[in-house]
Amino acid sequence: MSGGLSGRAAIAGIGATEFSKESGRSELRLAAEAVLAALDDAGLSPADVDGLVTFTQDANQEIAVAREIGAGDLSFFSRVEYGGGAACGTVAHAAMAVATGMARTVVCYRAFNERSGRRFGRPDAGLGGQPTSQGLEMSWHVPYGLATPAAWVAMFARRYLHVHGASSEDFGRVAVAMRRHAATNPAAWFHGRPITLEEHQASRWIAEPLRLLDCCQESDGAVALVVTSAERARDLRRSPALITAAAQGSAAGQMMMTSYYRDDLTGLPEMGVVGRRLWEASGLSPGDVQTAILYDHFTPFVLVQLEELGFCGRGEAPDLVRDGGIELGGRLPVNPHGGQLGEAYIHGMNGIAEAVRQIRGTSANQVGGVANVLVTAGTGVPTSGLVLSAG
């Protein structure tokens, strides 16, 4: 999905609701608020919207969002699969619609009442009993206690620790860095609340070797992104973030966060697929990126993404993190907004908004001289990624 996009479309507006644990508003209302905020950010109105893209898991139909904001006719709408893996995919679909002339202004959105509504990570014994391909897949895991995302990732993380000689403290350093960044981001739920490595190590086990502070938040809120042509975006209210490359990827032996039957259980080859496509399509390399927004629903997957995307070699990510390489002022600042561990868990869409702020130079934790930002979506699943660049 990366070919032919380079610089033809851009993100012209971003919008978000307040991130909370109890919004008091419906998911439809949250989505509408974020979409209207993104349009206002771009200097556009609902009448300009002719396309909408969201996740298959979003509760809000595109036609309902269109009615709620007062939009007119829609000429393009799309839903992207695989949970958080959809985040950058929504932008890819929107950019392709714009680049091919199917739509002029496409808004991507994701709304969540995850904390006050349904608890997203709760065990679901029914996962293994559905008469579907996913039900068949889960029937091998759920009856044995592997019933939550944390448990699935814990199996992977244990193998990573064994093969590379890493420790729980290496995971903890990721959590500490994300919370440190969130502490200076006024929009973050954990604003003003950093943690120490000792606090991470003292937090309770969720599924060994994952502790509570290795796991992302449950959040209420919504994020929206306005995608239009690069040419048009340059005439709008804000500086555009050009979509230099976009990709989606799945790898051999792929399962939904339980790809336990591969020969190597210490990598995320689907992220490797995305990374190779992004570097090829953009003509850039890891050394051309000033900051990365990596999907951090669980700390171990941040380490593995650094390796799969070429920022370090296999098994070297713990050393990079120990040396402060992912912190502000480090070799590759990761998630200056605090990520899903520190800002909010809106299925990665808030990370794309942060990437746009970094391109504009308006982030609360602005990295100097940002020309290119790498963004990734959900890990352990068929996933997606973006390279955004200054226009």
Catalytic residues: 295, 345
Residue at 369: amino acid letter: G
Instruction: For 49-99, give the DSSP string.
Output: --EEEEETT-SS-HHHHHHHHT----SEEEEE-SGGGGHHHHHHHHHHHHH
Query: Per the structure block, which two tokens stand in for 354?
Result: 């942060």
Residues sharing a CB contact under 8 Å with residue 156, sequence separation 6 or more, in sequence order: 265, 266, 300, 380
The CA distance from 389 to 1, in Å, is: 18
Contact 388, 355 (CB under 8 A): yes
Helices 299-308 and 168-183: crossing angle, nearest 10°? 100
Contact 39, 51 (CB under 8 A): no
The CA distance from 101 to 107, in Å, is: 15
Task: Characterize the bridge pairing of strands 51-55 and 105-113.
Answer: parallel
HSE-up (13 A, CA, CB side) for residue 249: 26
